[in-house]
Amino acid sequence: MKNLFDLEKLDAKVRHADLVKEIRKHDKAYYQEDAPHVSDAEYDRLRAALEALEAAHPELITKDSPTQTVGAAPSSGFKKVQHTVPMLSLSNVFTEEDYLEFRDRIFRFLPEAEKQGLALLAEQKIDGLSCSLRYESRKLALAATRGDGTEGEDITANIRTIRDIPQTLPEDAPDIVEIRGEIYMTRSDFIALNEKQEQAGKPVFANPRNAAAGSVRQLDVAVTKQRPLRFFGYALGDVSEKIADTQSGLRERLKAWGFQIPEPSYVGADVDGPWRFYNEIMEQRPDLSYEIDGVVYKVNRIDWQQRLGFVSRAPRWATAHKFPAEQAVTRLNAIEIQVGRTGALTPVARLEPITVGGVVVSNATLHNEDEIARKDIRIGDMVVIQRAGDVIPQVVRVLTEKRTGEETHFIFPQECPICHSLAIREEGEVVRRCTGGLICPAQAVERLKHFVSRLAFDIEGLGAKIIEEFYAEGLIKTPADIFRLETLNKTLEKPLQNREGWGEKSAANLFAAIDQRRSIALNRFIYALGVRQIGEATAKKLAATYGTLEDMQSAMAQAVLDPRFCGESAALQQQPAYDDLLNIEDVGPAVADDLLGFFAEAHNREVLEALKAELQIEPFIRPDTAGSPVAGKTVVFTGTLVTMTRAEAKVRAESLGVKVAGSVSAKTDYVIAGEDAGSKLKKAQALGVAILSEQEWNELSAGKAQES
Ligand code: IVH
């Protein structure tokens, strides 16, 4: 008997291995080579046989069995990739004044641009999704989405199906080159695709951009291949050698390498030229075969682009001139109050749904109570709404001539609609805030949503809706609960995988996505905490200043003991921690207040400790400054510099691993004194801090100075 049983088991094992091998072979042919060997029916029969076998012998199921994975694609979405050179977004100009300010900002940073004449290149701004193509040894090696600018998703397999994208580059291309550009779909291809979708009973796309994005983000490459995607090249990422001196030269080389580029373009040093080009393009817009949402202005000289660099997430050397927002008229049916993560009460207009620029709009922000009064918005009013790009739709004005007398005034609540705590508006503030703090469920949910958002933990599959559901059920109450979800799920009467809309696979994917984020960069972690006024850029600066969470926490604890917080009695020697904090760019007394207040709150400290137990928080990685003779030094620039502006000096110094501070203290290593240096120079002399001339500093940072 025993023997027979073993034989049967052995037989099952062999059959299982055979079936797995067979199915994998077909998967590869279908997904990767796009050349199926068998009919769909035959393939389905093989899969059904495997499923039946596994049902009878569950011990044979392995994690990578074809029954547990989709096709040949990875089951938990796309692989993440780090961008060698960040993928930036663009600042915007809407008015002539904005445009002149864009130029002035360049001149302030780079005065020679004003003296020598600033040539700008203008070209269409394509409304698609940005993508970076990395070629190594002239072969397409990696394609990535922008993601948060630092980390995107590996879409190489999908991108290989796009005909506009060369798989190889000619001999004259450098060893490493990253071409950045836009993936898009033409209007006619979009319409045809939607017709096909409709016939097949599948959902239709709202606009060509969504259709392009949806097609790229297909785990099944075979689907992407059937979608008519195209590509325009317009910028560079990482390169191993110089490609062109100018942006117009770059366009020429891209064209020679087989890329499509947006045509026409304009180059010139005439102030009005780019503006005229914009107006021409706006006229041509309806006749173009693809969608554009404006014109991009770029500094033509690439060496100047490099010197100008970027601020936060956008380059100083380029900006987008967007087309005006699209408007529509509709009825405002109601005003509701939303409570944000910091307790802010925001009025939201519920509208009679209407299509604006191809997107259905049913909500618009009303900002705050003063805005409602200023625009005299009443419930039942006919209103003009507008939407520009990805910005939340807004109510522009009321059509008072359409009033019937039935409209009613909105009375702004004095208490939180969710937790009923008092909502107060502090002196000089426009925002009314719920005072419920930790007891307010709305704030708790919003904080959790922020915690998992794209620039924070970015957990795939854990969106706003699911957070709301899990919070309501008590599965996730605080951020650390997210990382205990899998364990908790095992004890639930009705675990996730048995719920409607979920299955073994989607539950496993969610847990895998959560696990992937157990290790997180310090700057993302700080941003995720959702401290008021601490945005992504400030979080990065805090991470760069303190290096590790532990150091930041102890600095915060010390700064709280500052006499300015605790009255006369506290020890005076604690003051430096507070000054260090104020020395960080973007951090003024109000921001410092919010930050210290956050770290002083016992509950927040508990949240931090609970998270630390679940996570590995990666120390801030400083830019690669190996070989920089001045890395780690703290310097202060003062007075007028001659070889570059203060702004450029600061950017250059930071790229060498130098901390540039705003005021002189005993911790300052060097004060670089330009012409007419004043009080900072005096303070340096009083404190005995080393003082360098601009030239001495340039030599020292270039590694030319002798050791003193
Ligand atoms: S240049 C440093 N040129 O618009 C970034 N961008 O809204 C250099 N875009 O992130 C970008 N058409 O993805 C450039 N002709 C064009 C563009 C373009 C579309 C995208 C780009 C950027 C986004 C900002």
pLDDT > 70? residue 35: no
What is the pTM for the complete model shown? Answer: 0.70
- 23 with 163, same domain? no
- 444 with 491, same domain? yes
pLDDT > 60? residue 72: no
- 109 with 64, same domain? no
Instruction: Count how many domains the chain has.
Output: 5
- 156 with 287, same domain? yes
Ligand 1 neighbour 88 (Cβ under 6 A): yes
Which of 289, 322, 355 is the last residue before a domain boundary? 322
- 497 with 546, same domain? no
What pLDDT is recorded for position 573?
Answer: 41
Q: Give the structural domain span for 614.
A: 521-618
CATH code at 640? 3.40.50.10190
With respect to residue 384, please indicate whether it lies within any of the assigned structural domains: yes
Output the average pLDDT for the chain: 88
pLDDT > 70? residue 697: yes
What pLDDT is recorded for position 67?
Answer: 66
- 309 with 393, same domain? no
Over the stretch 386-408, which tens digit does the pLDDT of each residue have?
Answer: 987 667 899 999 999 999 999 99
With respect to residue 336, please indicate whether it lies within any of the assigned structural domains: yes
Ligand 1 neighbour 71 (Cβ under 6 A): no
With respect to residue 370, please indicate whether it lies within any of the assigned structural domains: yes
Element (H, E) at 166: none
Over the stretch 100-120, which tens digit does the pLDDT of each residue have?
Answer: 999 999 999 999 999 999 999
pLDDT > 50? residue 572: no
Which of 282, 300, 322 is the last residue before a domain boundary? 322
What pLDDT is recorded for position 63?
Answer: 63
User: Residue 19 — very low, low, confident or very high, per pLDDT cuts 50/70/90?
Assistant: confident
- 349 with 400, same domain? yes
CATH code at 6? 2.40.50.140
- 248 with 104, same domain? yes
Do residues 397 and 430 touch, judged by C-beta distance below 8 A?
no
What pLDDT is recorded for position 75?
Answer: 33
Q: Which residues contact residue 75 at a Cβ distance below 8 angstroms, ignoring those fewer than 6 apart?
A: 68, 69, 505, 508, 509
With respect to residue 638, please indicate whether it lies within any of the assigned structural domains: yes
Assess whether 125 carries a catalytic annotation. yes
What would the mean pLDDT of 264-288 be, rounded to a whole number? 95
Return the structure tokens found at 293: 């949402």
Which of 585, 618, 651 is the last residue before a domain boundary? 618
Which of 285, 296, 302 to probe ligand 1 with, by most ligand atoms within 8 A of CB?
296
Return the structure tokens found at 381: 């009013």
- 60 with 128, same domain? no
Distance between CA atoms of residues 245 and 236, nearest Å: 12
CATH code at 550? 1.10.150.20
pLDDT > 70? residue 477: yes
Ligand 1 center to 472 CA (angstroms): 40
Distance between CA atoms of residues 365 and 356, nearest Å: 15
Return the structure tokens found at 152: 């995107």
Which of 125, 259, 278, 302 to probe ligand 1 with, by most ligand atoms within 8 A of CB?
125
With respect to residue 415, please indicate whether it lies within any of the assigned structural domains: no
With respect to residue 194, please indicate whether it lies within any of the assigned structural domains: yes
- 198 with 300, same domain? yes
Q: Which of 125, 298, 633, 680 is catalytic?
A: 125
What pLDDT is recorded for position 291?
Answer: 93
With respect to residue 75, please indicate whether it lies within any of the assigned structural domains: no
With respect to residue 163, please indicate whether it lies within any of the assigned structural domains: yes
Distance between CA atoms of residues 110 and 648, nearest Å: 8
- 249 with 337, same domain? no
Neighbours of 78 (CB within 10 A): 21
- 107 with 138, same domain? yes
For atom 13 of ligand 1, the residue with the nearest CA is 130
For atom 8 of ligand 1, the residue with the nearest CA is 235
